Structure 1
Amino acid sequence: MRILSNGIRLSVALALACAVITACEKEDNNTGVINDVLTVPIQDTLQPVISENTLLTNAHPWYIRGWVYLGNEAVLKIEPGTVINMCPDEEAGGNGGLIITRGAKIVAQGLPQLPIHFQRSDSGNNGWRGIIILGRATQQKAFTTFEHEMLPAGKSLAYGGNEPDDSSGVLQHVQIDYVAPVKGKQPTPGLLLLGAGKKTNINNVVLHPLNINGASLNDRRLP
């Protein structure tokens, strides 16, 4: 084997370092998300507000209690095969969900054999409502708010803007369980897109409604 001189080894090392830096700054064309440092939460129950780029691994289940907001234009990346359990929260009126605020992104890219599963906890009457994505795409009004009975009392959320090609991330090979509303109330969709731009990628998503006793209803598939 030929041993490289110190000068050649230094040149190779610098070239590799440049390649790594370039890869870290390269945009993912499938998601519109620029790769960056991701933090894995220490606790398996997610904090009510996620304000930094976060990775949920498939090494163990994760838990959402009540409402969890992804803000500060952060990215939430979820590995294929990850399971996220939704737990009831009486302080949230028995409701709960994951809310992706304007500018933030969810990157949940499951695989056909390793889907990502947002599932209802089997403890008590769980009012998990699903995922709400709030984007910056053009609406009839340039900027508006969303209020719904399923949100915590007094809460409203801003969405919309003037960026038709905005990306709120990707949901691919994902199953979302959610609790269907009681008869006579406004339907809860399981996945609600408000102001999501054209580059938001929704592909092979199964919406799986349940009644309050946990019995399965008819699935819906997106797209």
Structure 2
Amino acid sequence: MARQLPYSTIREIFARFRAAEPEPKGELEHVNAYTLVVAVALSAQATDAGVNKATRALFAVADTPQKMLDLGEEGLTEHIRTIGLYRQKAKNVIRLSRILVEEHGGEVPSSRAALTALPGVGRKTANVVLNMWFRHPAQAVDTHIFRVGNRTGIAPGKDVDAVERAIEDHVPAEFQQHAHHWLILHGRYICLARRPRCPDCLIADLCPFEDKTPPAPPPRKAPPPPL
């Protein structure tokens, strides 16, 4: 775990992130707040690409809580069989859909407490929905953000809650809305777990991570042909 970076360094890091990608987007496909909740709930221990592949056909027929209830658990299961833990996730989606219909008029609530009361919706899922749909500067910490936060010193912490608090406490307010997306995309494509792409990293000179991946050696020139 790196030490907490100075405020000025964190500001420069996020200024570079913003210059490279002013409006970062989440990669889970959705058409409304409800489908976002479902997509994020399905993405636990699964890839966004795998979830998107399954939900394109699902959301074409069930993009509201009532339509999902009409589809039923078995119908939902047929759509998401390719996603890990699909049986339990199907049960949760049906249960949360029923709660949304019966207790929230079919609408997705905009409070973290109400969201986390839904089956299969934890703090991370709630924060994604609050950030992406309701535009709250909530920080959803997954394994990528946990790694980047600790490796770089942007937001060190022993657990995801500590990293979330560190982002809220140390990232300048002007970057809070998109901080979660910049960090997750950086962890997903550059700051990889096993072999980070340090030569391609736009904040490598600001990052204290000691075990940086060296650049690839230049290709060896073929020896001249014999005379």
When the two structures are superposed, what TM-score results if normalisation uses the length of structure 1?
0.23
Greater fraction strand: 1
When the two structures are superposed, what TM-score results if normalisation uses the length of structure 2?
0.23
